[in-house]
Amino acid sequence: MNSVDAAGLGIGDEYPPRIMGVLNVSEESPYDPSVYDDPAEAARYVDEELIAEGADIVDIGLESANKRFDVCSADEELERLGIALETIESVSADTIFSIETRYAEVAEEALSRGFDMVNDICGFADPEMPTVCAEYDAAVVKMASPPDLERPGAVEETDWAARNTPEWAESADYVDQVLEALKQNGITDQTIVDPAFGRWSDAQTLEDDRETFRRLSEFRTLEQPMLVSINRKNFLGEIVDRETDERLPASLAATSLAVERGADVVRTHDVAETRDAARIGWAFSDRSSAYRESQSS
């Protein structure tokens, strides 16, 4: 299993699970507690609510990836990037900053001005993304997606008969498609794979997410660290019959299971609680035993 170096932060089997806290600078983002348009207030939130509570990485989103909203252009993201840059300059604590974007142009600007890594929600649909990240030796999260900058996560919308074979497309189930989507357009040594939990298209079902979670360990066959973003997701809410604001216990239970099954990074809005849940999953995993042995030798 390959490990990734995110500006000095090790990610992979050789390291404990990492927690990625979330900051959004887009007013359309649905989770209000994480949305800020004032750099000073955003920096205070990062210092007091994310880093102080245990976030190893802070992921800053420039637009909502929710399919209900129009996709921002690269130019529109670059306009919003200014708030993100002012924010990271004002943060007093030390951390790793990730920029969430689908555009190589935006990633390059962010990396050149202080960001440490990239969270690509369109899975290298922009073919220049791997090149840009390699130039800066930056870790990059690759979310499973079709080769379409406007359709993040909607892997079932890919013409799999054309991109693989008609026979494969006929027999492949949803998780097979997600695995294949992560392989499309390559995987670099600095790639962290993301199985794309969430209803990214009308064709995707809650059962698809549940099956992906059940088979989470299969993503380790890609030999790269794995990120999961399952915080308060609908597939968990349906199981416990809870609305979004009541799903934290379900999210924490799922976090422990995800880490035990191989997740290396957990993206969350609930940093302190998720950190504890991830530590429980890690403590009872085979990877933890190997890690303790390596530290004592």
Rounded Cα–Cα distance for residues 66 and 64 (Å): 5
- Rounded distance, CA 223 to CA 64, Å? 30
Domain region containing 26: 4-227
Q: At what angle do helices 206-214 and 174-183 cross, to 10 degrees?
A: 70
Banded pLDDT at 278 (limits 50, 70, 90) = very high
Q: Is 181 within the bounds of a domain?
A: yes
pLDDT reported for residue 287 = 84
Local structure of residue 216 (DSSP, 8 states): G
The confidence score (pLDDT) of residue 263 equals 98
DSSP for residue 59: E
Per-residue pLDDT tens over the stretch 61-100: 998 776 667 889 999 999 999 999 999 999 999 999 999 9
User: Where does the pLDDT of residue 35 fall: very low under 50, low under 70, confident under 90, or very high at 90 and above?
Assistant: confident
Cβ atoms of 160 and 177 within 8 Å: the answer is yes
**Tokens standing for residue 37:** 């348009």
In a domain, 80, yes or no: yes
**Angle separating helix axes 248-260 and 206-214, nearest 10 degrees:** 40
Identify the CATH number of the domain in which residue 61 sits: 3.20.20.20
Over residues 268-277, the pLDDT tens digits come to: 999 999 999 9
Residue 233 lies in a domain: no
Does residue 235 form part of some domain?
A: no
Specify if 142 maps to a domain.
Answer: yes
**Does 42 map to a domain?**
yes
Report how many domains make up the chain.
Answer: 1
> Which H or E element spans position 283?
helix 271-283
* Per-residue pLDDT at 37: 81
